[in-house]
């Protein structure tokens, strides 16, 4: 969506290619963080008091798009990587249960399949997710968490800090930001 780091997009494309999965780029330039909406001149009165980095209804929009593609490809599952610390109301089990019920009511056609929404990491911490990723052989060196587009992660933004904390708590060296950690 609007202003996502190019490195994040490239990382996702690289991982899809390595897994033999077709990457589908769905431009949604109108999806913006509150700060971007304000700078673009939108009044956003309902969002006063929310974080400047909040994206209104992000998970609803993205999971609706995912549902569209699930229908086209006949996918039975839509998997989201939300962890236990995700605080937003559209990142919890109740939201996904409601969305699943809605989607099942909207299916059309005798062979239509209403996909199930899976949240395999929902009860896990960032450290748990890192440990699981390590055990599954996730190529962490291909991943990108930094909020900014640069040659290397900044190490200071919230996603960089959360990533560093997750790897540290898991006792695993992050190959992407290891250069920013002090030597043991």
Kindly report the average pLDDT of the chain as a whole number: 89
CB atoms within 10 A of CB 34: 19
Q: Model confidence at 181, in pLDDT bands (50, 70, 90)?
A: very low
Helix (H, G, I), strand (E, B) or coil at 41: coil
Residue 89 structure tokens: 């109301």
Instruction: Quote the domain boundaries for residue 183.
Output: 126-184
pLDDT of residue 30: 87
Considering only 48-52, 58-62, 148-152, which range has the smallest mean pLDDT? 48-52
On whether residue 35 sits in a domain, the answer given is no
- pLDDT at residue 54 greater than cutoff 90: no
Alpha-carbon gap, residue 132 to 170, rounded angstroms:
10
Q: Model confidence at 62, in pLDDT bands (50, 70, 90)?
A: very high
On whether residue 149 sits in a domain, the answer given is yes
How do residues 163-174 score in pLDDT, each as one tens digit? 999 999 999 999
Radius of gyration of the chain (CA): 18
User: Of 28-42, 104-118, 154-168, which has the strongest mean pLDDT?
Assistant: 154-168
Contacts 24+ apart (CB under 8 A), 68-75: 69/24, 70/113, 70/115, 71/107, 71/112, 71/113, 71/115, 74/111, 74/113, 75/113, 75/115
On whether residue 86 sits in a domain, the answer given is no
On whether residue 3 sits in a domain, the answer given is no
On whether residue 147 sits in a domain, the answer given is yes
Considering only 37-41, 48-52, 90-94, 170-174, which range has the smallest mean pLDDT? 48-52
Residue of 100, 127, 128, 93 whose CA lies nearest to 116:
100
CB atoms within 10 A of CB 158: 12
Residue of 13, 8, 7, 11 whose CA lies nearest to 25:
13
* pLDDT (mean) for 85-91: 88
pLDDT of residue 35: 85
On whether residue 103 sits in a domain, the answer given is no
On whether residue 12 sits in a domain, the answer given is no
On whether residue 173 sits in a domain, the answer given is yes
Tell me how many domains the chain contains.
1
């Amino acid at each position: 969506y609007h202003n996502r780091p190019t490195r994040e997009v490239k990382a996702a494309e690289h991982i899809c290619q390595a897994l033999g999965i077709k990457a589908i780029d769905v431009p949604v330039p109108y999806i913006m963080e509150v700060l971007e909406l304000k700078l673009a001149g939108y009044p956003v009165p309902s969002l006063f008091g929310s974080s400047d980095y909040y994206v209104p209804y992000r998970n609803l929009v993205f999971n609706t798009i995912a549902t569209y593609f699930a229908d086209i490809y006949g996918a039975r599952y839509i998997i989201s990587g939300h962890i236990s610390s995700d605080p937003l109301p559209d990142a919890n089990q109740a939201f996904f249960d409601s969305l699943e019920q809605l989607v099942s009511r909207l299916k059309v056609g005798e062979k239509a399949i209403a996909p199930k929404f899976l949240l395999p990491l929902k009860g896990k911490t960032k450290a748990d997710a890192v440990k699981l990723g390590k055990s599954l052989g996730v190529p962490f060196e291909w991943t990108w968490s930094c909020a900014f587009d640069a040659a290397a992660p900044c190490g200071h933004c919230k996603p960089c800090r959360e990533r560093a904390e997750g790897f540290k708590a898991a006792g695993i060296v992050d190959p992407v930001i290891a250069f920013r950690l002090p030597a043991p």
